[in-house]
Structure 1
Amino acid sequence: MEVKLITHGVFFILLAAAARAQVNPEICRYPLGMTGGQIQDEDISASSQWSESTAARFGRLDFDNGDGDGAWCPDIMSEPAGLKEYLQVDLRSLHFITLVGTQGRHADGMGNEFAQRYMIKYSRDGKNWVGWHDRKGRQVIEGNRNAYDVVLKDLEPPIIARFVRFMPVTDHSMIVCMRVELYGCEWLDGLMSYSIPDGHQMIYRGLDVYFNDSVYDGASAERLTKGLGQLTDGTWGLDDFLHSHIYSMWPGYDYVGWSNKSFTKGYVEIIFDFDRVRNFTSMKVHCNNLFSRGVRIFKQATCYFRSGSEWETDPVTFRPTADRVSQIARFVTVPLGDHTATAIKCRFHFGDLWMLFSEVAFQSGSAVYNTSLTPRKHGHPTNTLPGDDPTHKVDDSNTRILIGCLVAIIAILLTIIVIILWRQVWQKMLEKASRRMLDDELTARLAVQTQAFSFHHSSLSTDDSSTSNSTYERIFPLCADYQEPSRLIRKLPEFAQTTENSGAGTLTGGSDSAPHYAEADIISLQESSDSTSHSITAVNMNLFAGTDSSMKEFPRHKLTFKEKLGEGQFGEVHLCEAEGMQDFLGEDLSIEGNNESPLLVAVKTLREDANKNARNDFLKEIRIMSRLRDPNIVRLLAVCVDTDPLCMITEYMENGDLNQFLCSLRLKQNTDQAETEQEEKDGESMDSYSKLIRMAVQIASGMKYLSSLNFVHRDLATRNCLVGKNYTIKIADFGMSRNLYRGDYYRIQGRAVLPIRWMSWESILLGKFTMASDVWAFGVTLWEILTLCKEQPYSQLSDEQVIENTGEFFRDQGKQVYLPKPPCCPERVYTDLMLSCWRRNAKERPSFQDIHIQLMESLA
C-alpha cells in the first residue's frame, strides 16, 4: 500500500511539474514591482516632467510622497494630435505581461489630474517598439474616471516585453498625471521572436476558417518575422478548432495552421530566436488532432541549432507516435538533446492535409515557469540588454542538471513523507468524526421557509456573514469593478434590496452580509394566511391538518429495502418495494402498475439521532410535497412518522434518472454502428431529436407548475428527473444524495455544496435563488438532454474556473463563456431559447410558460 502511495505521489509531482512548464495567463498575474519597490527608480524614465515632485520615479501605483502629490506628470499639456509624452518602465529582462493598472494624482484633494485614456508601446530589445492592440485591433485603453481609484485592465492578448511605455491619449489639450503598475511573471523561455509562414484559410462546409496569426507583433509579408504572437500567448486551442476560448472570435482563431497543398517539400519551417545562448532540453508544441476533418499532429520534426552565424549540420529528428483513435488536442514534447544555441530552426512534416499549432514552449537548462515572481536584486546593472548581461553565462558542465536532480529527489521524498503523515492524521480524524457533521452538509432539497424558523435562519445568516469574507479564492488581483460577493449586493442596483418581494421568498441577511449558504435558506412556496397557527415542535400528526389530511401512514413492515441510492442531509435514501401500495392509495393518488406485484418506490429516511431542527425541516418537506399535484412532478405517496426513523415514500420511475437513461441510450446506439447508420438513412435521427424535445417539454411543464406556486427548485438537472414508461418525465429532488453525482457539487469553504455548473451567476455570487435562476438551470438541463449527457457542463473548465466565469457575467464585458451548441440542436433553439435562459439580467430571461410554448412550437 505504501509503495502504491509513493508511486502515485511521484507521478502527480512529475505531472504537476510538466503542467508548470507552460505559461498560464490566469496565474501569471503578479505585480512586477512598481508598487512594491522591486523596480528601481533608475529603471523608470519619462519623456518629460512637470516638476521634481512629478518626476517619473513617482509614477508608482498607490505611491504617496508625504504630500499626496506623487505621480508622473509631463511638463506640457497632452495634445490630441500626437503621442509624444510617455512613462517608460524597464523590467531588466523579458516578462510575460497580462495586466496593467493606472491611477491619477489627487494631492490630498488639491489635484485632479488623471489619464482618461492611454496607449501602450513595448519593446523586447529597447530599439524596436510595437504598439499594443487588442484582439479586435483597438489600441486605446480606457483609463481612469477620477484621481483616486485604481483601474486594472487585462491585456488581451498579453505581451512579452522588457520595456513598456504608457502614453496618455486626450481629446483636447489638458494636463494628465499617471501612476502605473504592471502584472505578469518572468518570461523564462527567453524567446525573442519566431518566424513562420503566414497561416492559411480553410473552407469547411461553406464556412470560412482562418488560421492566421492575428496578434503577431512583427513584420508581415510572405513570412511573419521578428515578432511573437498566438504561439506564445498562453492560450491553448480547443479540440474542435471551429470553437475558441475567446468570446465572439472567428472559427479557427486559436490556431495557426497550414495546408500541405502549399508546401512542395511537405513541411513547415519555423525559426525561433532567443535572448542568449541556452542549453535546450525540450520543446512542447500544442497540436490539433481532429483527423476526421483532415487535421493531424506532425509526423516528424527536424530541428537545427545555431550559436553563431551558421546552422549546425547535425539536426535532432523526432517522430511522435501516430494517434488514430483520440481526436483530443494535446502537447507533443520534442526532445532537443541538451543542444546549446541562440536560434532553433524546426521543420514540421505534415501528417495529413492540415497541421494546426496553438502554442510552443521551450525548456532550457533549469528554466521552467514558476507560479511566483522572484524579486529583483538591488544594484543590478541598468544599462545592459538581455544578450549583453555578463551574469548570463553558459554552463557547459552537468553541475546544474545534477543539482536539479538532487533537489527534485529531496522534494519528492519530503512530499511522500508529508502525504503519509497527512494520510494517517486524516484517517484518525475520519474515525473520530461524528454524524453531527452531516447535519451541517448543505443539500439542495424541496423545503419551505416558514415564520417559525425565519428568526433562526436570519440569526445564523448574520453570524456567518460576520466571519465569512469570501466564498472562493480568486487568482487575479482585486479591482474596483470586481469585488467580493458580499460587496456585490451594494454595487448592483437590481440587487440592492435585501428582500425579494416577488412572491418567491426572502433572502436572509442584510445588504452587507455575505451570501448565506450554510443553512440552505430555500426560497419557498408561500404559506397560507393561517399558517401561523401551525407550530411544529415535535413529531406528531398535527402536521397533516387541513389540506394535508389525505397523507396516510403506510405500514412500515410492508416496505422491503432493495438498494441504497445514497445519503443526503436528513439521512439515507433507499429504493424499496412497497407491498399493497396500489390498494393503499386513494383514487387521487393512484398510479400505473400491477396491483398484485409490489410497487417500486423511493424512501427518504431521517436519522434517528437527528436534532430538532432537522426533524422539523424533514416534516416541512413532507408538508410541501404533499401539496404538489402535477403529472410531471414526483409525488409523495405516503409517510411513516408514527415511530423513528421518520420516512417519506415517493414515486420511483422504472427507468431511473434521466441522466443515466440518456447515457445508456447513447451507449446502446454506439454499440451497433450499422444499425445507427441505417436509422440515419431512414430518417429516424429527427425522431430521436423530437423525443428529446418532448422530454424537455415535460420538464418545462413541471417547472411551469412549480413556478405558478412561486416554488423555486434550486437543483434542476437531468440527475433530478426520473423516466417512466413511454418517456414520461417527472421532476424529483434527491439527486444530491446519490454518490454517483457527488462530482456535480462543489464545496464552498467546507460549508456548502452547490451545483455550480447549473447555477446562475447571481445564485453563486449573491446566494440569490429565484424563478429566473431555475430558468438558467433549465437551459443547462436542456443542453444536457440534447448532448445525451455525453459530458458534464463546462467539462473543459475546473470548478474554480466555472466560478471565475460567473464573475465575467457580473462584469459583463463580453468575456463570459457559454455552453456550446449541441450538434443536434437547431440554431434557433440554441440562440432563442438556451442563450435567453443565460441572460445576465434575470428579468430578461423567459418564464417557464414562455419556454413551454416555445418548445411546443419547435415540435410543430
Structure 2
Amino acid sequence: MHLFLLLILPVPAVIGQIDPEHCRYALGMEDGRIKDEDITASSQWYDTTGPQYARLHCDNGDGAWCPKGPLEPSDSQYLQIDLKKLTFLTLIGTQGRYAGNLGKEFAQEYRLNYSRDGQLWKSWKNRQGQGVLFGNKNTYAVSSNDLKPPIIARFVRVIPVTKLSSTVCMRLELYGCPWDDGLISYSAPVASLNDSTYDGVLDRRKLSGGLGQLTDGMTGLDDYLMTRQFNVWPGYDYLGWKNDTPGTQEYVEMEFVFDGPRNFTSMKVHSNNMFSRGVKIFSSVSCWFKLRLNSPWEAEPVVFKTVLDDRNPSARYVTVPLNRHAAKYVRCRFHFADVWMMFSEISFLSEDTILASEIPEIGTSAPDEDISTTITTKTAVPSSSDSSEEGNMPILIGCLVTIILLLVVIIFLILWCQCVCKVLEKAPRRILDEEVTVRLSSCSDTIILQTPPVPPRSRHPPAGTTHADPHYERIFLLDPQYQNPVALRNKLPELPQSAEASACGGGYAE
C-alpha cells in the first residue's frame, strides 16, 4: 500500500526558492509556539494588557495588548516578536480587544518594522512604496494583509498608527515559513532595470547590505516587458544589466553573505532569454568562496560554462554546480553573452553543517581588484541535500519496478479474458455448421434428426410430468441446436416409391 501511494503521489522537486502562494503557515502566536518571553512591547497599559496577551482569537487577561496611555499620531509604540530564526513572512492578521463584548479598542492602521539581527531595523513598504497597512473596523473580526513583497526577518515590530489621539489594542498572528537558505544580504551594482524592493543601502551606484526582488520568490515571465504584479512598470520582475552599464566590464559581479558557514551544492539562476531583443542567459560564471570576512578568497574559482540557446526564447533556471564548497561569503561573476543579461531569482542549495575535512585551506590570491562591481543576486531557500536525494533513489526504483509489474499483470488479465470470450463465441457456431441428416417416414410423420453426438445436457422435467416416449423431448425454439424440420424437409431429395413402401412396412430407419 505504501508503494502504491508513492506511485500515485507526485515526487516533490528540489527547488531553490520559496513559493509565496504556499508559504502561508501560522507561525505560533495563536497556538503558543511563540513563547511569552519572545513577545515584548514598548509599553503596556496594565499587567493584564501586556504583550503576552496579543494572541489572535485569545481573550486571556483583558483580551489584548494595549500600549500605555492614549496613542498620539506622533507616537511609535510597538509590539515586538522574536521568531528565533530567519523567517519568510507573507501574511499578517489582526484583531482588536473583544473581551467578551466589553472591549472597544482596535487599530485602524499600522506599520511594520523588521530586523534580521536585532540591531539594524528596516521599514516595510509595498511595491508602490506605501508603508501603512489597513487594520480593523471592529474588535472581533480578523483583518488580513498580504505582504507584497514578503519580509525576510527574525524580529518583527507591529506599530499601531492613529490620526487622532485614541486608545488602541491589538491581537495578531504572523504567517510564513522558515527561510532555511540563511542568506542575509546580497550586493550589486545598480542595474538598468533596478531592484525596486531592495532594503539595503545605495552608495555610489552600488547596492549593499540588503535583500530585494531576487529573494521574493517571484520569477519573471518569458517576455520581460510583461509582469506578474499590478500597477508597476514594464520589466519590473527582472534586474537587468546592459553590457555598457557603469561598473560592469564584460561581466556582472555579485556577492552573497550568509548567516553562517554552509556547504554549497549548487546555485540556480532564473534568467531571461529573449534573444530577439538582445537578451540571453550568461555565457559563463566564476565563483569564489571564503569562510571569514577578513580571509582572502579561495585561489581557484568554480567555473561553469552554459550552453546558449538561440531557438527557445523561454526564461529558464540555469543550475550552477558549486562542488560542496564550504563558505560564508560567495562572490560570482556572470559574463555577458549578448547586450543584456536579466535575472529574476537566484537560489542556493546548501547545508548549514560543515565537516572539518571540508574547510578549505586559506589561499593567497583573490579576485578583489573590482569590489565596486559586486552584483546583486537573488537567493532562495534550498530544500534538500545530496544525501536526501541519494536516500530517495531506492524508493524511486522500487516504485518504477512496482508500476511495471502492475502493468504486466493487467495486460495478462486483459488478454486472458479476450481469449475466453472468443472460445465461448465459437462453440455454438461449430454445432450449427456440422452436417445434419434427416429422414422422414410418411406413415407416422415422425421426424428423426441424426446429428453428430452432442454432449448430453441435463434437463429436469417439471414436477408431475413424465415422458411417454423416450424418443421425444421438448424442444426450445431459442436453443442454438434446434433445426426447423420444414426447412430441412424441403432440402431432402425425393425417395423412390419402393423405398417409401419399405419404410412404411419396416418402421423407422436411421
Structure 1 residues 37 and 94 mapped into 2: Cα distance closer, same or farther (>3 Å)? same
Q: Aligned residue for 1:240?
A: 223
Task: Note if contact 1:10-1:412 (Cα within 8 Å) is conserved in structure 2.
Answer: no
Name the residue aligned to 1:285: 269
Classify the secondary structure of the residue corresponding to 1:231. Answer: helix
2:324 is equivalent to residue 338 of structure 1: yes
Is residue 2:261 matched to residue 1:261?
no
Paired residues for 1:588-607 under 5 Å? none
Equivalent in the alignment of 1:118:
110
1:404 correspondence with 2:407? no
SS at match of 2:144: strand
Q: Distance in 1 between matches of 2:159 and 2:407?
A: 55
Q: How far apart, in 2, do the equivalents of 1:299 and 1:323 lie? A: 10
Q: Give the AA of the match of 2:133.
A: I
- CA–CA distance in structure 1, aligned partners of residues 10 and 68 of structure 2: 57
What residue in structure 2 maps to residue 28 of structure 1? 23
Q: Is 1:88 aligned to 2:80, yes or no?
A: yes
SS in 1 for 2:244: helix
* Residue 81 of structure 1, CA deviation: 1.5
Question: Is 1:361–2:354 an aligned residue pair?
Answer: no
Query: Is 1:165 aligned with 2:157?
Result: yes
Q: Can you list the C-alpha shifts for 1:207-264, whole angstroms capped at 9, x where unaligned?
A: xxxx110000011121111000000000000010111000221011000111111256
Per-residue deviation, residues 589-638 of structure 1 (Å, max 9, x unmatched): xxxxxxxxxxxxxxxxxxxxxxxxxxxxxxxxxxxxxxxxxxxxxxxxxx
Amino acid at match of 2:342: L
Gaps of 5+ in 1: 201-210, 366-391, 432-860
Is 2:13 aligned against 1:17?
yes
The answer to whether the aligner puts 1:228 opposite 2:211 as a matched pair is: yes
TM-score by length of 1: 0.42
- Alpha-carbon separation, structure 1, partners of 2:71 and 2:327: 45
Structure (1/2) with the larger strand percentage: 2
- Corresponding residue number in structure 2 for 1:70: 63
Q: Offset of 1:199 from its aligned partner? A: 1.3
What SS does the aligned partner of 1:57 have? helix
Deviation at 1:77, TM superposition (A): 1.9
**Which of 72, 75, 82 in structure 2 is aligned with 1:79?**
72
Pick the aligned partner of 2:39 from 44, 47, 53.
44
| 1:50, distance to aligned residue in structure 2 (A) | 1.1
* Higher RCO, 1 vs 2 (CA within 8 Å, ≥6 residues apart): 2
Whichever residue aligns with residue 278 of structure 1, its letter is R
Checking the alignment, whether the CA contact within 8 Å between 2:59 and 2:98 is kept in structure 1 is: no
* CA 1:42–1:109: 2 relative to 1, 3 Å: same
* Residues paired across the two proteins, number: 382
CA distance change for structure 1 residues 35 and 427 in 2, over 3 Å: closer, same or farther? farther
Task: Write the distance in 2 (CA, Å) between the matches of 1:11 and 1:146.
Answer: 44
1:174/1:414 Cα in 2 relative to 1: closer, same or farther (>3 Å)?
Answer: farther
Partner of 1:251: 234
Find 1:105's aligned residue among 84, 97, 106: 97
> Alignment partner for residue 291 of structure 2, among 307, 310, 313?
307
Shift of 1:42: 1.2
Q: Extract structure 1 runs of 4+ deviating beyond 4 A.
A: 8-12, 400-403, 413-428
Q: CA deviation at 1:327?
A: 0.4
Task: Give unpaired runs (5+ residues) of structure 2.
Answer: 359-383, 416-510
TM-superposition CA deviations, 1:543-596 (whole Å, max 9, x none): xxxxxxxxxxxxxxxxxxxxxxxxxxxxxxxxxxxxxxxxxxxxxxxxxxxxxx
Structure 1 residue 87, shift from structure 2 partner: 0.5
1:243 maps to amino acid: M
Residues 410, 56 of structure 1: alpha-carbon distance in 2 compared, 3 angstrom cutoff: farther
Change in Cα spacing, 1:321 to 1:11, as seen in structure 2 (3 Å) is farther
Any residues of structure 2 matched to 1:134-213 within 5 Å, and which? 134-200=126-192, 211-213=193-195
Change (3 A) 1:53 1:220: same
Q: Per-residue CA shift, 1:711-745, capped at 9, x if unaligned?
A: xxxxxxxxxxxxxxxxxxxxxxxxxxxxxxxxxxx
User: C-alpha distance in 1, partners of 2:132/2:409?
Assistant: 55
**Residue number in structure 1 paired with 2:475:** none
Distance 1:150 1:119 in 2: 17
Q: 1:401 to 1:94 in 2, by over 3 A?
A: closer
**CA separation in 2, counterparts of 1:10 and 1:319?**
37
Give the secondary-structure state (helix, strand or coil) at the position aligned to 1:109. coil
Alignment correspondent of 1:131? 123
C-alpha distance in structure 2 between counterparts of 1:137 and 1:89, whole Å:
24
Q: How far apart, in 1, do the equivalents of 2:7 and 2:160 lie?
A: 52
- The amino acid of 1:258's aligned partner reads W
Q: Report if the CA contact (8 A) 1:49-1:55 is conserved.
A: yes
Once superposed, what is the RMSD of the aligned Cα atoms? 2.9
Q: Which residue of 2 aligns with 1:478?
A: none
Aligned counterpart, 2:354 = 394
Between structure 1 and structure 2, the one with the greater Rg is 2
Tell me the residue number matched to 2:431.
none
Matched, 1:294 2:286: no
Check conservation: 2:262, 2:353, Cα contact below 8 A.
no
1:420-479 CA deviation, whole Å, 9 max, x = no partner?
A: 799799999x99xxxxxxxxxxxxxxxxxxxxxxxxxxxxxxxxxxxxxxxxxxxxxxxx
1:26 is matched by which residue type in structure 2?
A: E
Relative to structure 1, the CA distance from residue 339 to residue 146 in structure 2 (aligned partners, 3 Å threshold; closer, same or farther) is: same
SS of the equivalent of 1:108 reads coil
The letter of the residue matching 1:250 is: W
SS at match of 1:160: strand
How far apart, in 1, do the equivalents of 2:18 and 2:94 lie? 25
User: Displacement of 1:22 after TM fit?
Assistant: 2.2
Distance 1:304 1:426 in 2: 55
Alignment deviations for residues 767-794 of structure 1 (CA, whole Å, 9 cap, x no partner): xxxxxxxxxxxxxxxxxxxxxxxxxxxx
Q: In the alignment, does 2:206 pair up with 1:218?
A: no
CA distance in 1 between partners of 2:176 and 2:411 (Å): 40
Contact 2:283 2:337 in 1 (8 A): yes
Distance 1:359 1:145, change over 3 A: same
For 2:189 and 2:161, how far apart are their aligned partners in 1? Answer: 35
